[in-house]
Amino acid sequence: MIIEISKLIKTYAGRTVVNIEKLVINEGETVGVVGNNGAGKTTLFRMLLDLIRPDSGEILSKGTNVAENDEWKKYTASFLDEGFLIDYLTPEEYFLFIGSLHQMSTPDVIGHLERYKEFFNGEILDSGKYIRDFSKGNQNKIGIASALMQNPELLVLDEPFANLDPTTQIRLKAYIKSLKSAQLTTLISSHDLNHVTDVCDRIILFEKGIMIKDLYTTENTLNELEAYFSK
Amino acid sequence: MLLTFLSHQWTGFWRSKSKTGTIATQLIMGFLILYLVIVSIMVGYNMQGIIEQVLPGKDIMIVFNGVILYYYAMEFLIRMQIQELPTLAIVPYLHLNIRKQTLVNFLNLSALFSPFNILPVFIFFPFIIMNVRPDYGLFACLMYLATILSLTVFSNYATLYFKRLSTGNMKIIMAGAAFLLVIAGLEYFKIFSISVISNMVFQTISKYPPVAFIFILLATAMFMINSRYLKNNLYTEELKSGTGKKSSTDYPFLDRFGEVGTLVALEIKLILRNKRPRATVSKGLIFLFYGFLFYKQNVLENNEFGKILFAALFMTGNMILLYGQFMFGWQGAEFDGLLANKTDIRTFFRAKLLMLTLSSTLLTLITSLYGFISWKLLLLHSAAYLYNIGIGAVIVLYFATRNYKYIDLKKGSSFNWQGVGASSMLMAVPILLLPYLIYFPVSLLSNPYWGLAAIGIIGTMGLLTRNYWLTTLVNAFNKRKYKIAAGFREQS
């Protein structure tokens, strides 16, 4: 197992946002996290990335507490929102910077970006714009590509399909599927039930911070989720 | 890694979005800093001559030694107001493969890039090298220099530490303000003196130089405390303002003013809940100390109110000037909404006047404590108060109808030139000049008390004819309202 969460609680202004008794995620799993607004998906991701301090409980990544040790940063790549980007850099500058953190040379980075050519749809590179001047969808692409580029063992994406045009959504889905391997664990949150059931082999459903369902994807999963959300 | 961070800061600065508008202000800032540096070098180099001229006959070393801690005390106050916390800069790096310690190091390093940290070197070093070395020897001189550097480092990190502790924590801010007020009072009434302590400290160092190691230790300790705190609290939501439960508030006191009161309540919330207006208003509170600087016994004995009129006007009306100069830009983000709402413009202006009046009343009540120094100050403050609410507030609002500049409420207020334009600069001139035009002729013809009375009377007349001025303001506003709203829509 790569992630082990136990007795994790976070409250804001007296309201419990995340309350997880026990959650274990194994290596190689692609996990989809679903739930309505306020379910605590993003808060959970932020705690996983040590961006928010839990009120109690702990998150172990490869056996060490993420809040106590930086070791997890070496194999974890993530993109939650535009705040993760350095918005006054051009995309190229940003990719090179991220690459340099993982000891990638400039040719390495350029070679890597070659793979995302289709994904970028010719809008990202050589655009002569700063990241802040891109549309939200394109900023999303930059963030996702920079996360993928890091060759992580743990990939965390918060609503990666939001703001993307349909073509890119389909390409991203295919790409994430193609990445599946025993070495890569992926955590994805999404409001799009079709997409998550398509991409993920395990779905966890949250409501008001509590895990309601934890299923391994079958043909029935989509129906089951739709039934849950439409009641 | 640290170099990469710094180069990012550098590119970020040059590519800043509001750059086109700020190139001029950057230049002004640059000149300002250059000017400060040159002045400091001149002062530092000619310290001996200056001391001999200002305080002839006194021992130069004693004066110099007495000044040092005083300088740092004042500097600390200014730092608390102006120095920004370089926290938000790290948000895009938190999730990346960068160790926490590196981020903390970066925050610590970037905090050193402040003009505050270089000025003491220019001011104190030349004198120490020229005077301490020949009199007390090389070792004492070096320890003097080390003490100056240590104090600077200490002050730098202490500011950041206390600012971080106090963000969003009203209790700490209040306690700090009360503490400073007590110290200032004790200093004014000569019960306690920073300069005596300073002199004692540095005389000890000149005689027993190793004592200075205490300061080096103190600076190191402060640095460590700050780093430790940062490392343990490197969560943006904790370094930013509090995440406590936000509750709906109302101000029952304002209910009696009906719709006008509702609008005032809205604006009070705007001030309390947003960074820039809050900083602007709390900066105004610092000016309450003006009295200690300006109200000298001999001035009061000779009834030279002209010399202190400015201080009184500013203390009783600084909200009107500081907050009012960016009116209505504060509400720029929701201005269209305000215009489309079911409030008429007259009510809108009455609310503004009421708010400015309330602020001035509050400030006047606080500053009436200066009455303990002399009862004459109460007269002075009353005259200034009446003028501020009767005339000053109207002038501010009139200029506000010519201000089309949006204000970003989330930014800090120090060295923030957003919204500063010709109209906000010009505005201060008539407001602060007019009382002098009233005071001087009258006090020359009869006596200074009549001069004050004249200011008060003019202010009262302004109050009594407020309806007329309201109509004028509303007309002025209606003429330009589309331009104002369009200006705010551009946002920066």
ipTM of the complex as predicted: 0.71
Average pLDDT over residues B155-184: 78
Residue B219's nearest CA partner among B159, B280, B266 is B159
The length of chain A, given as a count of residues = 231
Selecting from B92, B238, B244 the residue whose C-beta is nearest the C-beta of A83 gives B92
Lowest mean pLDDT among A32-36, A120-124, B76-80: B76-80
Asked whether the beta carbons of B485 and B336 are under 8 A apart, the reply is yes
Whether the predicted pLDDT of B246 surpasses 70: no
Dump pLDDT digits (tens) for A198-209. Answer: 999 999 999 999
Note whether residue B18 is domain-resident.
no
According to the model, what pLDDT value does residue B78 have? 80
- Tell whether B329 and B214 lie within a shared domain: no
- Tell whether B273 and B421 lie within a shared domain: yes
Q: Helices (DSSP H) in chain A: which residue ranges?
A: 41-48, 91-101, 106-115, 117-120, 136-149, 166-179, 193-199, 221-230
Whether the predicted pLDDT of B239 surpasses 80: no
CB contact under 8 A, B98 and A101: yes
- Tell whether B469 and B329 lie within a shared domain: yes
- Tell whether B307 and B408 lie within a shared domain: yes
Note whether residue B56 is domain-resident.
yes
DSSP symbols for B55-97: STTS-HHHHHHHHHHHHHHHHHHHHHHHPPPTTGGGGGGTTSS
Q: What is this structure's pTM?
A: 0.70
Note whether residue B182 is domain-resident.
yes
Selecting from A53, A93, A97 the residue whose C-beta is nearest the C-beta of B235 gives A53
Note whether residue B176 is domain-resident.
yes
According to the model, what pLDDT value does residue B380 have? 92
Residue ending a domain, choose from B216, B239, B262: B239
Residue ending a domain, choose from B239, B273, B293: B239
- Tell whether B366 and B399 lie within a shared domain: yes
Structural domain spans, chain A = 1-75+153-231, 85-151
B-chain residues near A50 (CB < 8 A): 94, 235
Dump pLDDT digits (tens) for B86-143. Answer: 766 788 888 888 888 888 888 888 888 887 888 888 888 888 888 888 888 888 889 8
Tell me how far apart the 2 most distant CA atoms of chain B are, in Å.
77
What is the C-alpha to C-alpha distance for residues B204 and B187, in angstroms, rounded to an integer?
A: 22
* CATH number assigned to the domain covering A1-75+153-231: 3.40.50.300
Name the token pair of B44.
């530092």
What's chain A's average pLDDT? 90
Average pLDDT over residues A59-69: 91
User: Any CB–CB contact under 8 A between A88 and chain B?
Assistant: yes
Range of the domain at B416: 252-490
- Tell whether B227 and B261 lie within a shared domain: no
How many domains does chain B divide into? 2
Asked whether the beta carbons of B212 and B205 are under 8 A apart, the reply is yes
Residue ending a domain, choose from B239, B261, B279: B239
Residue in B closest to A99 by C-alpha: B97
- Tell whether B168 and B315 lie within a shared domain: no
CB contact under 8 A, B238 and A80: no
Dump pLDDT digits (tens) for B180-214. Answer: 778 777 877 777 788 888 888 888 888 888 888 99
Note whether residue B167 is domain-resident.
yes
- Tell whether B299 and B424 lie within a shared domain: yes
- Tell whether B216 and B332 lie within a shared domain: no
Average pLDDT over residues A174-186: 91
According to the model, what pLDDT value does residue B186 have? 80
Residue in B closest to A82 by C-alpha: B92
Note whether residue B470 is domain-resident.
yes
List strands edge to edge, sheet with A64-65: A15-25, A3-12, A56-61, A64-65
- Tell whether B326 and B462 lie within a shared domain: yes
CB within 8 Å of chain B, chain A residues 104-163:
130, 132, 150
CB contact under 8 A, B15 and A100: no
Average pLDDT over residues B28-46: 83
Q: Helices (DSSP H) in B15-59: which residue ranges?
A: 19-45, 47-54
Positive or negative: CA dihedral B235, B236, B237, B238: positive
Average pLDDT over residues B140-166: 89
Give the minimum alpha-carbon distance from A49 to chain B in angstroms, rounded to a whole number: 6
What is the C-alpha to C-alpha distance for residues A66 and A42, in angstroms, rounded to an integer?
A: 16
According to the model, what pLDDT value does residue A69 have? 84
According to the model, what pLDDT value does residue B492 have? 47
CB contact under 8 A, B97 and A74: yes
Dump pLDDT digits (tens) for A120-176. Answer: 988 898 888 888 888 999 999 999 999 999 889 999 999 999 989 999 999 999 989
B-chain residues near A13 (CB < 8 A): 243-246
Give the minimum alpha-carbon distance from A147 to chain B in angstroms, rounded to a whole number: 9
- Tell whether B279 and B317 lie within a shared domain: yes
- Tell whether B35 and B152 lie within a shared domain: yes
